[in-house]
Amino acid sequence: MKYLSYNRVFVLLAGLGLLAGPAVGQRLVVQPDSAEQQALRRHPRLRQSESEIEEQRALRRGSFAPTNPDLLWSAPTGERWAPGVVQTIDLPHVYRRQAQAAQAGLTLAERGREVNRATVRRDVRLAYLGLQFAEAQVRQLAYQDSLFRALQAATDRLFQAGEVTSLQRISTEAEARQVRNQLQQATVDRRAAQRRLGLLLGQPQAELTAATDLRQTGPELARTGAELLAALPTPDSAAVALSPTLAYYRQNVALSQAGISLVRARRTPALTVGYQNQAFENSALHYRFQFGVSVPIWFWTYRSQLQAATARRRAATSQLQVQQLELSTQYEQALADTRKFAASLGYYEQTGLPQAAAIISQSQRLFRAGEISYLVLIQSLNQAFTIQNTYLTTIRDYRQAIVELNYLRGL
C-alpha cells in the first residue's frame, strides 16, 4: 500500500481540528507575590509564632519576680498571737540576669517566626510552581489528545474503506488511549496542585490558576539563573550565613548561655526584710522591722542546676554545628542541581526545542508528500512531544533548585 493513500488521514486531521483543547472554566488567577503575602497572613505557622512571641513578651514583663512574701503568726511574749510579714529579695544582678534570659527567649521566638516565614514562602513557591507545571502538562497533553483522537477517527474511516490494516488501526487506538490516560492523570494532578496551593492560601476549594505559563518562563529563567550562579559566594558557609535557621540556633546558644549566667547569679545570698510584732502588750512600739540574709547553703542544688545549664549549652552548640553541616550539605546539593539544570535548560533552549519544532514540521511535510506512513508520523510526533515534555520538567526542576537555594540563603 502506497504512503500517498495516507494523505487522506492528514486532510481528516485538519478537518477535525488538531489544536482544539478542553474548555477551561472560570478560575481565580493567582500571582506569585500575592500568593506569598496571602499565605504569610493566613498560615497557622505564623499565628503560632505570634502566640509564642506574645508568651515570651509576657514572661519578659515578669522577669522582676521576687519570691512570695511569708505571712507569719507569732507569739513573741507568749501571751497572744500577732501577724507579721517576711520578704526575701534577691540582689539586683539576679533580676538583671532574669531580664537578660527573658529577652533571649523573646529573641529566640522572633527567630523562630523568621524560620516559619521562610518555610511558608518556600512552600508557597513550590506549590505555585507545582500548579504551573500541572497546568502546562494538561495543555501539552490536551493538544496531543486532540491530535490522536482525530488520528484515531481518521484511521477508523480508512480501515472501513480498506486502506489501512487492522494492526495499524489497533496501534493508533493504543496510542490515543495512552495519551488520553495521561491527560486524565495530568488533570487529577492539576486539581491536586490547586488544592495544595489553596490550602496554603486558605482557599482549598478555589479553582486557582497560575498567572503565567511555565513554558513561557524558560528564557527568563535561563537569564536570571545565570545571574544568580555568577553572584553566589564560593564558600558554602558564607552562602548560608544569613539563613534564618542558623540564626535561630545561634540564638538558642545565646539563650542557654543566659541560663548559665542566671544559675550562677542565684548562688549568691539574698536579703530578708520582715515586719513583725516583737514587743509586750504595754510596749510603746509593738511592730518593728527585722533584717537578715538568705544564705545559699544547699550547694548541691545549685551545682546540679549549673551542670544542667552547662549541658544544655553544649547541646545547643552541637545543634548549631549540626545545622551548619546540614545546611552546607543541602546548599551544595542545591547548587549542583542548579548548575545541572541550567546546562540542561540551555541545551533545550538552543538545541532541543528547535529540533522538536523541526521534527514536527518535517514529519508533517513528508507525510503530506506521501514519503512516510502515519505510523512514522506518530513516532516522530512522539519524539518531539517527549522533548517538549522534558523541557517542561527541566524548567520545573530548575526552579525548584533555585527556590531551595534561595531558602537556604535566607531569601
Domains and CATH numbers, the chain: 3-408 (1.20.1600.10)
**pLDDT surpasses 50 at 232:** yes
pLDDT single digits (tens) 114-172? 999 999 999 999 999 999 999 999 998 998 888 788 778 877 887 788 777 787 788 77
pLDDT at residue 409 greater than cutoff 60: yes
- Count the neighbouring beta carbons within 10 Å of the beta carbon of residue 269: 13
Indicate the pTM of the whole model.
Answer: 0.82
Span 264-311, pLDDT tens digits: 888 888 888 887 766 666 666 667 677 878 778 777 777 888 889 999
Average per-residue pLDDT for the chain: 83
Identify the weakest region by mean pLDDT among 109-123, 225-239, 280-294, 390-404.
Answer: 280-294
* Residue 24: per-residue pLDDT: 40
The pLDDT of residue 15 is above 50: no
Confidence (pLDDT) at 76 = 66
| Spatial contact of 172 and 378, defined as CB atoms under 8 Å apart | yes
Residues whose CB falls within 8 Å of the CB of residue 387, separated by 6 or more in sequence, listed in order: 348, 352, 353, 355, 356, 359
